[in-house]
Amino acid sequence: MQDSGEQQNRGPNLSQAGAVLTIDLGAIRENYRLLRERLEGGQCAAVVKADGYGLGAAAVATALRREGCNAFFVAQAAEGISLRRVLGEGPDIFVLNGIHPGAEDDCAAAGLIAVANSAAQLAAWQAAARRRGQRLPVAVQVDSGMSRLGMAQAEVESIGRDAFDGLDLKLVMSHLACADELNNPVNALQRKAFEALRRMLPDAPASLANSSGIFLGGAFHYDLVRPGAALYGVNPTPGRENPMRQTVRLAAKIIQTRGLEAGIGVGYGHSFRSTAELRLATIALGYADGWPRRAAAVAWHRGRKLPFAGRVSMDTIILDISALSPEEPAPGDLVELIGERQTIDEIAALSDTIGYEILTGLGHRFHRRYEGG
């Protein structure tokens, strides 16, 4: 394993960047331990697709290796190939979308485990094994009721036992559509369907639960669980208290401050107008950085709340800083936008989306700081 420092993409340096994203790898490690402690046996994998939900797959996976995590899931072949370079030989790397036609040899050479979602993907992977004269590891995804990826019953029935000749079946898996709804009856139906489909395949370890699935109880854990979002601090139990730690802080620099008389329009469309004398600060962060244009939130400066004034622009947001004393803040000072005080899930709620979308949308112009790897 290389030193984790080399694997962290830190983005532009602090003085040139408009905002700083701090990623607390210690908190991600703690979240991993919290999830693992809920299991009654079985393995806790980590889903690091979409560059570790936007936080840096290399840094996250390296940190979780130190917690003993031995299985990682990515969505795409290219993500798997990069991750293998980071982690070296040893840990399992599963490619959830399976291998697109033509990429089999590169993936086999990188020691990736193809998730076969269809009989066609399975046959192509088997053909690659034959061609290469090499046994290849494979996982099979069955569709237990989400209708997204995986083989439905008829397709499982259509594959013969010899479909696995030359392959090592490492995992039979499926995915829950409604795991974040504790009392949704679909969960139990999918579990039953999963049991039935499993029995039609050769014996292999099984996996059904994502983050929220872990909180449905031991019957959903099987041999391996596949949390993503919960590792990064998104609440896996919506509507109930978040059992996970926050893992990111986002702070943006103040570019400029100004005083304003009453009755003046602020920002695009003058959607905000001062009703009294105000002080404003413009900060270096906007919707191009993944901040949802619809999320009219607040920023924080030394514990004081600074409401947004007017529309979010591409590269800037205007804050009402009237609550601060006239000497503060100074240009270059940082105000906090995401952290314990205003979580990813709260920003998601303000813009009618989910924490997953906020996390994976966080931009590439931030200076990134990694702590606690």
Ligand X SMILES: *Cc1c(COP(=O)(O)O)cnc(C)c1O
Residues in touch with ligand X (CB under 6 A): 47, 49, 96, 175, 210-212, 226-230
For ligand X, the closer CB: 121 or 282: 121
Tokens 């990429």 — which residue?
103
| Least distance to ligand X, CB of residue 207, Å | 8
Residue 315 corresponds to which amino acid? D
Active-site residue flag, 268: yes
Crossing angle of helices 57-65/25-37, nearest 10°? 50
CB-CB contact of 101 with 128 (8 Å)? no
| Least distance to ligand X, CB of residue 179, Å | 7
For ligand X, the closer CB: 95 or 136: 95
Cβ-closest position to ligand X: 228
| Least distance to ligand X, CB of residue 213, Å | 8
246: left (phi over 0), alpha (psi -120 to 50) or beta: beta
CA distance 270 to 311: 8
Tokens 């969960």 — which residue?
187
For ligand X, the closer CB: 324 or 359: 359
Cβ-based neighbour number of residue 230 at 10 Å:
24
| Least distance to ligand X, CB of residue 199, Å | 21
For ligand X, the closer CB: 166 or 355: 355
| Least distance to ligand X, CB of residue 175, Å | 4
CA distance 255 to 307: 16
DSSP assignment string, 301-316: ETTEEEEB-S---SS-
Cβ within 8 Å of residue 184, ≥6 positions away:
178
Catalytic member of 49, 170, 232, 370: 49
Query: What are the φ/ψ torsions at residue 224 (nearest 5 degrees)?
Result: -155, 135
CA distance 137 to 164: 10
For ligand X, the closer CB: 142 or 230: 230
Cβ-based neighbour number of residue 162 at 10 Å:
8
Catalytic member of 170, 253, 268, 305: 268
3-state class (DSSP) for residue 180 = coil
Distance from the Cα of residue 257 to its chain's centroid: 35
For ligand X, the closer CB: 95 or 260: 95
| Least distance to ligand X, CB of residue 291, Å | 21
Could you give the residue numbers annotated as active site?
49, 268
